Amino acid sequence: MQKPSDLAAGIETTSEFKRFSQKNDVFSRAFWDSSVRTDETDAFFASYRMEATPRRGDGFTQRDFALRNASWLISDIMTDRFAGQGRREGFQAPISNDTPVADDKHLFDSPKAASADVKKVSRFFGADLCGVTALDPRWLYDTRVDVRDMSQADLGLPEGLSHVIVLGHEMDKDLVRTYPSALGGAATGREYSHEAAIVMQLAAYIRNLGYQAVASMNDTGLVIPMAVQAGLGEYARNQLVITQKFGPRLRFSKIFTDMPLDIDQPKRPGVAKFCDICTKCADACPVKALPFGSPKVGGGTSSIQGVKKWTSDAEKCFSFWAKLSSDCAICMRVCPFNRDLSSWPHRLWLRLALSPARRLALWLDRYRAGRLKPSSWWARR
């Protein structure tokens, strides 16, 4: 299963590789697997539907949950459209086309010109990053989930798709600093709502040019290896893609298309080498769900098999989310790459971190700003 381009992306597969079935995603398992589903996980999902239980702790008040849930609204509206037909789109099924494919194709001078066009339009709609890679079937789910009975169903992708456009959406850096909190969850929800609009609009633009374009968020395939192959960043110990513009502070969406595009090349500037000496995310994880040591092959039911990489304990991770009644991104907050990389001191730090002076960069990270109290975020004007 190993491909010649895998080395450049830092991807290592073995003979045990097999495509992942979305039914085994820990969020899907929380609906059918008694080893994952509990009263707490049921309450976790219900809390996003006006059934949250506010508490006195800073970051978990009624106002914190209200902002978090409101931030998810647009994503929720889109996702619920066809749930009655078994399609929870954007999460457990690709997003349905709201516009047809035009009969006539707009012909670009070259694939390079077509990619430049797509990237320009992605910025217009609000994407913060955009990369293109060839469609790699390894990262497509083997099957998707029909949410009516949690049975397995075909992905439903059309024939002839050849490329994936991967979009990055920056999360609010101050809200990320408040994790773990319901308030911090607003950073996640806002970007899901943003990306739902952006990915659907860009896909509609491509269909209007006469090409197939299937909009996708967390559904249909594993976006992290796609983002790495599209040159947007490098995989890290905390299971996130580290980008040179926003660090780990992004959500990703994608579009599957048959549009002839020029692909971007993966880049390995040195994030993995930094992660080799840094364990801040694993140290900070309250339930010790993140790995120490070197990348390994294997993992639990909710892990893809036959890929050598850092792999989290998804069951431990989600159990902590359920206890919080909100998502946790402590691993993102404490990551040394989570900084304002638009400022020159942090860009200088980045150069050190990606160089043989990485141990100095790790030592200097002690001076980076720490957690922001949710009440302090509210107090800011």
pLDDT at 165: 98
In single-letter form, the type of residue at position 286 comes to: P
Tokens (6 digits) for 27: 């969020």
Helix (H, G, I), strand (E, B) or coil at 275: helix
Instruction: Tell me the CA distances in angstroms from 186 to 40, 69, 180, one per residue in order.
Output: 20, 7, 11
Tokens 């459209």 -> residue: 81
* CA neighbor of 227 nearest in space, from 91, 154, 348, 127: 127
pLDDT at 341: 95
Below-50 pLDDT ranges, the chain:
none
- Report d(CA 57, CA 374) in Å as an integer: 10
- Report d(CA 344, CA 361) in Å as an integer: 15
How many CB atoms are located within 10 Å of the residue 267 CB? 18
Tokens (6 digits) for 189: 């929800």
* Helix H or strand E segment including 274: helix 271-277
Instruction: Tell me the CA distances in angstroms from 365 to 338, 349, 360, one per residue in order.
Output: 10, 9, 9
pLDDT at 196: 97
| Angle at the Cα of 125 from the Cα atoms of 123 and 126, rounded to 5 degrees | 65
Helix (H, G, I), strand (E, B) or coil at 174: helix
Tokens (6 digits) for 155: 């992905």
The full length of the chain comes to 381
225 conformational bin, left if phi > 0, alpha if psi -120 to 50, beta if neither = alpha
